[in-house]
Amino acid sequence: MSELSGLSVAGLSVGYGKALVLDQLSLEVPRGQVVAVVGPNGAGKSTLVRAISGSLRARAGEIQFNGQRLTGLPAYRIARMGVLQVPETRDIFAGMTVWENLRVAFDNLNPEEDARALFDEIYTLFPILAERRDAIAGNLSGGQQQMLAIARALVGRPRLLMLDEPSLGLAHLIIREIYHTLEALRRQGLTVLLVEQNARMAVKFADYSVVLANGEIVLQGTRDELMANDQLVQHYLGGRPAELLRP
């Protein structure tokens, strides 16, 4: 990967209080690719996303996107550069309607663009959100709330989309629907950092995966490399490659 293209995390150390969660972690997401970070609860996956998005300050290391330094920038500047996260907690405004949620994101992230055309595009991607545009977001199903959280990030025209546990707590059918939409976004060339405890789904979807445990990368490789590495995959992901590949 050229230094100018995609996300580059080099020697990142970050934590809470005195404790370091990630110690000198390095990772790249080449432009146009999907990279998954999988691993058990507490591994440091969300911490990584928070550090990249600027909501958590790096103690050491360097984060760059398309050659521009993100480390040290405030979160809103990073978001305006098109590095957008869909947080694990989704963080939608439960008391506002679907449309109002999107409108707030629009005003914050992308006020120069033609709102109508942009919203039409997003409603095409998530027809259920178009149908429910006047519904109070807190009354949506979990899957619809996740779609809204993704839609809200898309309003900012991401150049890097970071999804933290998009499948968490959702039924299988809804998860498939969400991944179907992610596939459409990937075909448009979007660069994606996908964080999942649901390793099977993520490793199958991603071009390249990184397994994180206790803040350290314990295994990484392309989809094909991981699938070929029976013992390691079994050890770290709990399951045989064949199982990982089952839809």
Ligand X SMILES: Nc1ncnc2c1ncn2[C@@H]1O[C@H](COP(=O)(O)OP(=O)(O)O)[C@@H](O)[C@H]1O
Token pair 């050890």: residue: 235
Nearest distance in Å: CB 42, ligand X: 4
Residues touching Mg ion, count (CB under 5 A): 3
Q: Which of 3, 16, 121, 242 binds ligand X (CB under 6 A)?
A: 16
Nearer to Mg ion, 50 or 204 (CB): 50
CA dihedral 66→29→3→108, nearest 10 degrees, is 10
Nearer to Mg ion, 88 or 233 (CB): 88
Identify the burial level of 226 via C-beta atoms within 10 angstroms of its C-beta, where 0-12 means exposed, 13-18 middle and 19 or more buried: buried
Tell me the CA distances in angstroms from 188 to 79, 157, 183, 185, 242, one per residue in order: 20, 12, 9, 5, 29
**Sites for ligand X among residues 31-70 (CB under 6 A):** 39, 41-47
Q: Which does 42 bind (CB under 5 to 8 A by kind): Mg ion, ligand X, none?
A: ligand X
Nearer to Mg ion, 48 or 122 (CB): 48
**Sites for Mg ion among residues 63-122 (CB under 5 A):** 88
DSSP 52: H
Q: Is 76 in the site for ligand X (CB under 6 A)?
A: no
Q: Is 46 in the site for Mg ion (CB under 5 A)?
A: yes
Nearer to ligand X, 100 or 216 (CB): 216
DSSP 137: G
Query: Distance between CA atoms of 206 and 194, rounded to whole angstroms?
Result: 8
Nearest distance in Å: CB 210, Mg ion: 14
Q: Compute how many other C-beta atoms are within 10 angstroms of the C-beta atom of residue 86.
A: 25
Q: Compute how many other C-beta atoms are within 10 angstroms of the C-beta atom of residue 228.
A: 12
Q: Is 146 in the site for ligand X (CB under 6 A)?
A: no
Query: Distance between CA atoms of 89 and 105, rounded to whole angstroms?
Result: 16
Q: Which of 9, 12, 21, 38 binds ligand X (CB under 6 A)?
A: 21
159 three-class SS: coil
Nearer to Mg ion, 33 or 46 (CB): 46
Nearer to ligand X, 122 or 153 (CB): 153
By CB under 6 A, name the binding residues for ligand X. Answer: 16, 21, 39, 41-47
Which residues sit at the interface with Mg ion, rule CB under 5 A? 45-46, 88
